[in-house]
Structure 1
Amino acid sequence: MKQALQLKVSQQLTLTPQLQQSIKLLQLSTLDLQAEVERFLLDNPLLEHSDEPREADSPSDREDAPAESAADDARDGDGGELLEWGGGSRAAGDDDFDPMLNVPCQVTLREHLLAQLGEVALSDRDRAIMRLLIEELDDDGYLPVQLEELASNIPLELELDSDELAVGLRLLQQFDPAGVGARSLAEALELQLLRRPGQEPGHALALTIVREHLALLGNRDYARLKKTLGCGDDQLREAQTQIASLNPRPAAGFVEGEVHYVIPDISVRKRRGRWVAELNRAAMPKLRVNGLYERMLADNRGQNGEMSGRLQEARWLVKNIQQRFDTILKVAEAIVERQQLFFEHGEVAMRPLILRDIAEEIGLHESTVSRSTSQKYLLCARGLFELKYFFGSSLETESGGECSATAIKAHIRGMVESENPAKPLSDSAIADALDKLGIQVARRTVAKYREAMQIPPVNLRKTL
């Protein structure tokens, strides 16, 4: 084969490091962005917080010099005063004081039960059995494993049988919260009822229902319940009220794991009769390139290649962070302008909107709009919403217009909330009611939206 040289012209898309960083920063949530910024601050000495005084500044040039002088006087003891913190006193210069010690820690279910176990006089063996049962509880406080199965997993040399576990379980079920250690919903409700005064209206009937007829109550089969129990509407209503006040998840008040907070990126306010989007400045990292290092590198250009690269990296980060928030604001402004009626009247006035609509309006790609709305939050008078919440499919109305799925769900929720509990609306009845509003929706579509909102079907919403 004869070899030859050939010139070929082609185009190839290449993501520069700066563009890759810009895309990565855009898709991060505000909390993740703050963590990323802290990582860059530790790694790059040319970056610094812009709200911190530079080392080159002298104390006499700072505006807060008088305040610092007063603080120094207090620290030196000239004023003879002590600062108060959390009800206790400490010297202003006490560096060993940790303010986080005043922050209460959340107690887990396991810690709460072990604390109660420590107050009970038991043998070492019985205490070990109790610890074993506590470790087997799930997040709701239930014991998901049978005692026989649990005993079979214990080494034979310990000679532990299910009877000993049953004794320990009965003791555990006397601990707080009421219902802990239950093996079923019926047992959890029964344990809670047994701690209540027996003279309460409907108490005895409620106990009978949770022990023997909980399925009938769950299916709202009131006719069969009244016939089986030989009671009237008033008696059954009292028992149902008792059961409804119980907690099906006994350990729901104990939070397991880390609590995640949301910082809004955008706030919406009404100005001159229009709702407008504004950046939450508190969510923006305040960064700058260290001026002293920047001037030193400028005076010694070309002599330190590594630090010059760090300088360029710092400039990119500051620019990309600003570009990130500019993009989020541009997208949010377009969304708020399209959804003026939502901010004025609520969900029922939500307009249909898709990513392409916003992308075409502001001249960005759909993927960029998607990154700008994912895990980015908007705070307004109606609450806190993810920007993606304002996008939704549409259905045609009788007049030829369009109605968003969010608005239809709001109509369905409103109808269910205002319905007669004794005669709740079926999916067909809701579809007919929407048709009268000019919104043509099939019954199966109503059922799909109702299930998405976790609204029970008509037979489970019926009450006495």
Structure 2
Amino acid sequence: MKPTLQLKLSQHLTLTPQLQQSIKLLQLSTIELNQEIEKALLDNPLLEREEGPGPESGSEGDGEGERNESESTESQSNEVLDAMSEWASSSSGSSSNRDDDDDSDFQSFHAAQVSLREHLDQQIALTPMSDRDRSLVRLLMEALDDDGYLTQSLDDILEMFDPENEVEIEDLQIALHHLQHLDPPGVGARSPSECLALQLRSLPESPTRDLAMRIVVEHLELLAQRDFVRLRRNLQCSEDSLREAHHLICSLSPRPCAEFALNDTRYVIPDVVVRKVRGRWTAALNPEAMPKLKVNALYAQLLQQNRGNNGDLGGQLQEAKWLIKNVQQRFDTILRVAQSIVDQQRQFFDYGEVAMRPLTLREIAEELELHESTISRVTTQKYMSTPRGVLEFKYFFGSHVATDTGGAASSTAIRALIRQLVEAEDRKKPLSDSKIADLLGQQGMVVARRTVAKYRESLNIPPVSKRKTI
């Protein structure tokens, strides 16, 4: 075949570095954004934080000219961003945390917290016992899990000793006895029944305590099944006595040492604050979440005076301007989406979860003329502070359930109604899933029994058999 030359015309989209950065910043959470900015501040000498409080976002009188210019630039950038959003792959992961150095303004310190083993060891040191018993108690202490249960049997622990140590099973039983008399009550238990019994033994003697002891030792399975009829028959007690014993058992903790577990508390910085202003719910950017950046004036002046010999500083100046622009565009887009959500869900802010309406990402995207994937990025790991709590943007979106009038109800509203029905039910005759579905049907909401069960489980509400009481 004879080789020939052909002309072919095609179009394709290219992700510019600026657009890549814009997409990346848009999907970062506030904490991840601050980490990214800290990294940029270290790498780019032309970028620095702006000292002093910035203008209050969301106010109508300040910076009108700047806002008009940024909105014009934002609309042009969003057009390109939406075109790329259909196929641009989302970059995952957050920027790496930098090591603490001498220039850090703040350092985070964890409050000192006494561990379970430290708490027990302090008591062991003050308890009168032989050094041998004290060593065996400390050995058993190492076999405790985070809830304070002894996870190994005494026989298994005994096999760990060499015969020359002359440790007998009776020695371990004595050590376990010492361990189970330490604080908190219930530590060293080998089963939930023994854990509750240990806690009851630490209480003053009374007929109620004795009855509760019989229940947890002999009939704990019946109590878990809420079979109060068989419990009364087996225990030969009155309904009032059984009720008092049941209340006493409910006051105990099946995880007595959970308070000593280390808590990894994670804090959320809301991006938007929602308030009611002149009868209208309004979203405004949270100044605490907005990083204030600017170009270093000294370096910018030097570059202006030496335009012909900028070197790498010229590129860093452009990167600094890109970052400042993209950060501003990120928050402008977040504010637009937040206000649209607030407008769509204003009934929720007035009346609560029961008034939540069905909402999809597509509705917000069509209203703001943005791509659906852009809305998805904006609503992920972004939070708004409202009079009803700090809520993630995603919270306001959900599936819908049909009504008998041909409309639709939000799944969030259905869950709220289910919670209200369960809270108001007769504990002696709790509502079944079928009965809850019938009650919702009476309010015009067509919900299947299995849907009620799914929503009930998502609310961590136990089934009817486990909600029954006496």
What TM bracket, shorter-length normalisation?
A: 0.7 to 0.9
Distance 1:162 1:47, change over 3 A: farther
Distance 1:17 1:121, change over 3 A: farther
Q: Distance in 2 between matches of 1:154 and 1:303?
A: 77
Q: Distance in 2 between matches of 1:275 and 1:355?
A: 20
Distance 1:205 1:303, change over 3 A: same
Q: Distance in 1 between matches of 2:228 and 2:27?
A: 52
Aligned AA for 1:112? H
Q: Distance in 1 between matches of 2:142 and 2:308?
A: 63
Q: How does 1:387-406 map to 2 (within 5 A)?
A: 387-406=393-412
Query: Considering only aligned residues, what root-mean-square deviation do their CA atoms show, in Å?
Result: 2.7
Q: Say whether residues 1:41 and 2:48 are aligned partners.
A: no
Match of 1:85 in 2: none
Q: Distance in 1 between matches of 2:380 and 2:25?
A: 12
Q: Distance in 2 between matches of 1:157 and 1:291?
A: 78
Distance 1:141 1:440, change over 3 A: same
Distance 1:297 1:123, change over 3 A: farther
Q: How does 1:227-238 map to 2 (within 5 A)?
A: 227-238=233-244
Compute the displacement of 1:157 (Å). 7.4
Partner deviation per Cα, 1:45-98 (whole Å, 9 max, x = no partner) = 222110169xxxxxxxxxxxxxxxxxxxxxxxxxxxxxxxxxxxxxxxxx9xx9
* SS of match in other structure, 2:268: coil
Q: Say whether residues 1:115 and 2:98 are aligned partners.
A: no
Given candidates 227, 245, 250, the residue that maps to 1:239 is 245
Q: Say whether residues 1:105 and 2:112 are aligned partners.
A: yes
Match of 2:21 in 1: 21
Given candidates 434, 439, 449, the residue that maps to 2:445 is 439
* SS of match in other structure, 2:300: helix
Partner deviation per Cα, 1:363-389 (whole Å, 9 max, x = no partner) = 222222122111211111111211111
Q: Distance in 2 between matches of 1:264 and 1:155?
A: 59
Aligned AA for 1:329? L
* SS of match in other structure, 2:453: helix
Match of 2:77 in 1: none
Compute the displacement of 1:265 (Å). 1.2
Which sections of structure 2, spanning at least 5 residues, go unmatched? 54-101
Given candidates 194, 199, 214, the residue that maps to 1:192 is 199
Greater CA drift, 144-153 or 360-369: 144-153
Q: Distance in 1 between matches of 2:306 and 2:25?
A: 32
Q: Distance in 1 between matches of 2:254 and 2:355?
A: 36
Match of 1:282 in 2: 288
Q: How does 1:303-452 map to 2 (within 5 A)?
A: 303-452=309-458
Distance 1:452 1:300, change over 3 A: same
* Identical aligned residues as a percent: 58
TM-score (norm 2): 0.83
Distance 1:257 1:412, change over 3 A: closer
Distance 1:141 1:346, change over 3 A: same
Given candidates 156, 163, 173, the residue that maps to 1:149 is 156
Compute the displacement of 1:281 (Å). 0.9
Which sections of structure 1, spanning at least 5 residues, go unmatched? 54-94
Partner deviation per Cα, 1:290-323 (whole Å, 9 max, x = no partner) = 1111111222224232222222222222222111
Aligned AA for 2:155? E
Aligned AA for 2:407? G
Match of 1:206 in 2: 212
Match of 2:12 in 1: 12
Q: Distance in 2 between matches of 1:381 and 1:99?
A: 30
Q: Distance in 1 between matches of 2:137 and 2:150?
A: 12
Q: Distance in 2 between matches of 1:151 and 1:12?
A: 73
**Contact persistence 1:412–1:430 (CA under 8 A):** yes
Q: Distance in 2 between matches of 1:157 and 1:374?
A: 62
**Contact persistence 1:139–1:256 (CA under 8 A):** no
Q: Distance in 1 between matches of 2:171 and 2:30?
A: 52
Aligned AA for 2:255? R
TM-score (norm 1): 0.84
Aligned AA for 1:319? K
Compute the displacement of 1:279 (Å). 1.0
Q: Distance in 1 between matches of 2:382 and 2:29?
A: 6
Q: Say whether residues 1:270 and 2:276 are aligned partners.
A: yes
Distance 1:30 1:125, change over 3 A: farther
The size of the alignment, in residue pairs, is 420
Aligned AA for 2:19? L
Greater CA drift, 289-298 or 229-238: 289-298
Q: Distance in 2 between matches of 1:43 and 1:115?
A: 49
